[in-house]
Amino acid sequence: MSNAMDINDGNWDSEVLNSNIPVLVDFWATWCGPCKAIAPVLDGLSIELKDKVKIVKVNIDNCMNLAKKNGIKSVPTLLIFKGGKKVDSMIGASNKANILKKLENYIEKES
């Protein structure tokens, strides 16, 4: 079971666009091997970065409208949103270090 919240058309705006912290959205599919490979990495990051970044998942087979609206052409695709806008993306499976490096650009620095 994933620690990442499942996102659909009904909660997209409230959980992603209106979030007060950066959101990493994992567009995935049940039949996608690389998606299954990065799932544990994203679960770990969702715990590690709990109050700094929200990590959510969109099953493209169940939410084709969201996939189309966000220009998803392959999975896994990771999109990063901040302030309601898409600010970065990664296509394909990636390791924890690469995902963290991208996220660090959008996490508020503690003073």
Q: Is 32 a catalytic residue?
A: yes
The encoded tokens of residue 10 equal 């009904």
Q: Is 35 a catalytic residue?
A: yes
Which is catalytic among the residues 35, 53, 60, 99? Answer: 35
Res 111: pLDDT = 46
pLDDT digits (tens, 9 = 90+) for 44-94: 999 999 899 999 999 999 999 999 999 999 999 999 999 999 999 999 999
The CATH architecture of the domain made up of 5-104 is 3-Layer(aba) Sandwich (3.40)
Burial of residue 7, with CB atoms counted within 10 A of its CB: 0-12 exposed, 13-18 middle, 19 or more buried:
buried
Amino acid type, 12: W
Which is catalytic among the residues 16, 32, 42, 45? Answer: 32
Residue ranges of domains in the chain? 5-104
